[in-house]
Amino acid sequence: MRFARFIRVLLALALSAPAMTAQAAPADPAGGTVSILAYHRFGPTVADSMTVRISVFEQQRAWLDAHGYKIVPLRDAVDRLRAGKPPGEGKTVVITVDDGHRSVYTELFPLIRKYRFPVTLFIYPSAISNASYAMTWAQIVEMSASGLVDVQSHTFWHPNFHTEKKRLDDAHYREFVATQLRRSKDIIASRLQKPVDMLAWPFGIHDAELEKAAKDAGYVAAFSIDRGPMRAGADLLSLPRYLMVDADQGARFAAIAEGGAR
């Protein structure tokens, strides 16, 4: 089952990352870094490794509020970076959610509306209104219409580009990549009548060839799950994010928000 394989690969990538310290690193003397948080699913209990309990998310949001952090749109941070400025100003974080699971609508969206904070969704359109675990297009349209949720691309069906490169010859691989990048972009833009020019790399996989293909397809920024804060001068097509799990609480979450978790 593709979804089960997806969970195993993503968890393996997360576990292979260097262990995260609970002690935040000293503040960047240049200032202006932004921690981009990457969630997947939400629920009342931990159903799997990528589920964050909604009670834990509320604790995280409350911590940000109590410590003077502002949740800013991903678009704002990217626009600042493209203008040659530090991506953040003051204490800022960005919230992103990958894949388009229905718990984003049932669990997270009520909090988005209640507290009025911006979120960017990265979805792969092949699942929407098709897969049993996914949101419907009607739900995504409703979220987008709120003005608080920006919807961007996670390719068309979330492939593992390493696997596909081994399976296909060079010409067919390039064609496959272009289709994955362009088809997702076109479908989302058509459904929502809004620009789609940001991409989350499936499984965090990216290289120079993929980044060039993304640029050619019209993306201005793309995001990995390489842990670390977004900094001035960063490569716009391989921007880091923190893959969030339910254990990211207390000092662990503070380290991430403060940009010290590696």
Three-state SS annotation for 70-127? EECCHHHHHHHHHCCCCCCCCCEEEEEEEECECHHHHHHHHHHHHHCCCEEEEECCCC
Q: What was the pLDDT predicted at 221?
A: 98
SS3 label, residue 112: helix
SS3 label, residue 259: coil
In whole angstroms, give the CA distance from residue 54 to residue 184: 29
Kindly report the CATH number that applies to the domain delimited by 2-257.
Answer: 3.20.20.370
256: nearest Cα among 235, 232, 225, 234: 225
Q: What was the pLDDT predicted at 184?
A: 98
Assessment of whether the complete model's pTM goes beyond 0.75: yes
Structure tokens at 148: 């608080």
Name the DSSP class of 34.
B
- Give the pLDDT confidence of 46-68 residue by residue, as tens digits: 989 999 999 999 999 999 999 99
Domain boundaries, the chain: 2-257
- Give the pLDDT confidence of 145-186 residue by residue, as tens digits: 999 999 999 999 999 999 999 999 999 999 999 999 999 999
Q: What was the pLDDT predicted at 28?
A: 45
Q: Per-residue pLDDT for the chain (262 aa), expressed as one digit of tens each?
A: 444 454 444 544 444 443 333 333 344 433 689 999 999 999 999 989 999 999 999 999 999 999 999 999 999 999 999 999 999 989 999 999 999 999 999 999 999 999 999 999 999 999 999 999 999 999 999 999 999 999 999 999 999 999 999 999 999 999 999 999 999 999 999 999 999 999 999 999 999 999 999 999 999 999 999 999 999 999 999 999 999 999 999 999 999 999 866 5
Q: What was the pLDDT predicted at 32?
A: 87
In whole angstroms, give the CA distance from residue 80 to residue 11: 32
Q: What was the pLDDT predicted at 31?
A: 61
